[in-house]
Amino acid sequence: MNGTDASPVLPYLFAGPCSAESYQQIEASALFFKKWEAAAKGIARITAIRAGAWKPRTRPGCFEGFGEQALQWMQQAKARHGVAFATEVANAKHVELCLRYGIDVFWIGARTTANPFMMEEIGQALKGCPQPVWVKNPVNPDIALWIGGIERLARHGKGLVGGIHRGFGLYDSRPYRNAPLWELAVEFKRALPSTPLLCDPSHIAGNRDYIGEISQAGLDMEMDGFMLEVHPCPDAALSDARQQLDFAAFEQWFSRLVFRNRDSAPAKMEQIRRLLDETDDELMQVLSRRMDLVRKLGNLKKEGNLSVLQLGRWNQVVERCTSSAKEKGLDVDFVLKLLNCIHAEALRVQNEIVEKRPGGSSGS
Ligand code: PEP
Ligand code: MN
């Protein structure tokens, strides 16, 4: 929107209701965020107010958004109050209507990102458009699909294409609605270092009580901003009522964020990092030694026609390692995950050895 005095602490901040529900609700949001920005004197800015016009719902018969009427409300509030709006688009028709009503920013919802045909259709509809587009991660934890979706849109549009981390739908994501799987957000940043990434704590949390902790974790992962659901009266919201903040809670949310220094580390840390590098080198050597032994065993299993998985032996390994982990003060769940990962690789390598026909190509 505007603001002049300082540079904002967050490069991007989208806030507003899950769904546009009435002109009054949209106008109340515009007035609130304008007032909040004015008080923040440029330290904080709202990039655009978010509000869904079409709501992808799991089951039919629920509230599915006001569609074109919602776009009219946004257009009207934009004309009256000079604020920018962002909305979700899920097909070419949505894009066309949003362009007609002057919507400033688009985002792609998690269910759409998962569908390459829809992403291609939206990409085509965005041809040459300067509007920024933000792509939520797909519902399933598939980073290639997420990155592929971003690439598809970037090929057509002219605006910035960024990512939104909204968590992943797993069978069990407790206590959250969606599992954050922060490691995938880190992977995203490693794969696309110059693409901004936002955190959507509302859809990760599913419950307003967790929004603060998730937002702080996102900031600490060097996310570039937030997309957050804020509603004038959350309990009366037509969608996602439990996860939306009211205006006072939004102000409190922002004031509690801790912005840490992202610059390079002091000398003392550099020293410890060198030691960490040495330790990682040792870890790689140990892993390589372990894989050599695994290969030797694989050859013996092949010779003796023995099964690759020997459960009794594996139970012993797990037992030994977890009790040693306990003694050393390591988290047992973490060690179990690590062991399972190492074991999966050992089984893969040994299966490859056992399945190789005599006289076939060597080299492991
Ligand atoms: C939304 O932002 O309101 C939404 C539907 O999000 P998601 O696609 O992450 O479920
Ligand atoms: Mn929502």
Nearest C-alpha neighbor of 223 from the set 6, 10, 4: 10
By most ligand atoms within 8 Å of CB, the mutation choice from 19, 21, 88 for ligand 1 is 88
The DSSP line for 183-234 is HHHHHHHHHSTTS-EEE-HHHHHSSGGGHHHHHHHHHHTT--EEEEEB-SSG
Q: Decide: 9 and 40 in contact? Cβ < 8 Å.
A: no
**Ligand having the closest approach to the CA of 51:** 1
Residue 156 Ramachandran class (φ > 0 left, ψ -120 to 50 alpha, else beta): alpha
Q: What pTM, to 2 d.p., does this model score?
A: 0.85
Q: Please tell me the distance from the alpha carbon of residue 237 to that of residue 190, in angstroms, as a whole number.
A: 37
Beta strands in the chain (DSSP E): 12-16, 48-50, 85-88, 105-108, 133-136, 161-165, 197-199, 225-229
* Cα 141 to middle of ligand 2, angstroms: 19
pLDDT (0 to 100) of residue 359: 55
Indicate whether 25 pLDDT > 90: yes
DSSP summary character for residue 324: H
Q: How does pLDDT run across 301-310, given as a tens digit for each residue?
A: 999 999 999 9
Rounded average pLDDT over 146-171: 96
Q: pLDDT band at 31, cuts 50/70/90?
A: very high
* Cα 35 to middle of ligand 1, angstroms: 26
Closest ligand 1 atom to Cα of 108: 8
pLDDT (0 to 100) of residue 358: 65
Task: Write the single-letter amino acid at 363.
Answer: G
Residue 326 Cα distances to 198, 239, 286, 321, 334, angstroms: 37, 46, 20, 9, 11
**What stretch of H or E contains 149?**
helix 143-156
Q: Which residues, at least 6 apart from 128, have a Cβ–Cβ distance to it below 8 Å?
A: 156, 157, 158
* Cα 52 to middle of ligand 2, angstroms: 8
Q: Please tell me the distance from the alpha carbon of residue 81 to that of residue 104, in angstroms, as a whole number.
A: 14
Is the CB of residue 165 below 6 angstroms from any atom belonging to ligand 1?
A: no
Q: Please tell me the distance from the alpha carbon of residue 222 to that of residue 287, in angstroms, as a whole number.
A: 31
Q: Decide: 130 and 103 in contact? Cβ < 8 Å.
A: no
Q: Please tell me the distance from the alpha carbon of residue 44 to that of residue 33, in angstroms, as a whole number.
A: 10
User: Hey, whose CA ends up nearest to atom 8 of ligand 1?
Assistant: 109
Is the CB of residue 203 below 6 angstroms from any atom belonging to ligand 1?
A: yes
Q: How does pLDDT run across 220-241, given as a tens digit for each residue?
A: 999 999 999 999 999 999 999 9
Is the CB of residue 223 below 6 angstroms from any atom belonging to ligand 1?
A: no
Pair type for strands 197-199 and 225-229: parallel
Q: How does pLDDT run across 298-336, given as a tens digit for each residue?
A: 999 999 999 999 999 999 999 999 999 999 999 999 999
- Report the alpha-carbon angle 31-34-39, nearest 5: 125
Residue 134 Ramachandran class (φ > 0 left, ψ -120 to 50 alpha, else beta): beta
Nearest C-alpha neighbor of 260 from the set 3, 10, 49: 10
Tokens 């794969």 identify what position?
191
Is the CB of residue 83 below 6 angstroms from any atom belonging to ligand 1?
A: no
Indicate whether 4 pLDDT > 60: no
* Cα 137 to middle of ligand 1, angstroms: 10
Q: Decide: 250 and 230 in contact? Cβ < 8 Å.
A: yes
Nearest C-alpha neighbor of 258 from the set 294, 218, 297, 290: 218
Q: Please tell me the distance from the alpha carbon of residue 83 to that of residue 304, in angstroms, as a whole number.
A: 74
pLDDT (0 to 100) of residue 5: 61
Indicate whether 264 pLDDT > 80: no
**For residue 182, how far is the Cα from the chain centroid?**
7
Q: How does pLDDT run across 283-294, given as a tens digit for each residue?
A: 999 999 999 999
Is the CB of residue 136 below 6 angstroms from any atom belonging to ligand 1?
A: yes
3-class secondary structure for 150-178?
A: HHHHHHHCCCCEEEEECCECCCCCCCCCC
Tokens 């040495």 identify what position?
278
**Ligand having the closest approach to the CA of 54:** 1
Residue list, CB under 5 A from ion ligand 2: 18, 240
User: Hey, whose CA ends up nearest to atom 1 of ligand 1?
Assistant: 18
- If you count DSSP H runs as helices and E runs as strands, how many of each does the chain have, helices first? 13, 8
Q: How does pLDDT run across 53-109, given as a tens digit for each residue?
A: 999 888 898 999 999 999 999 999 999 999 999 999 999 999 999 999 999 999 999
Is the CB of residue 149 below 6 angstroms from any atom belonging to ligand 1?
A: no
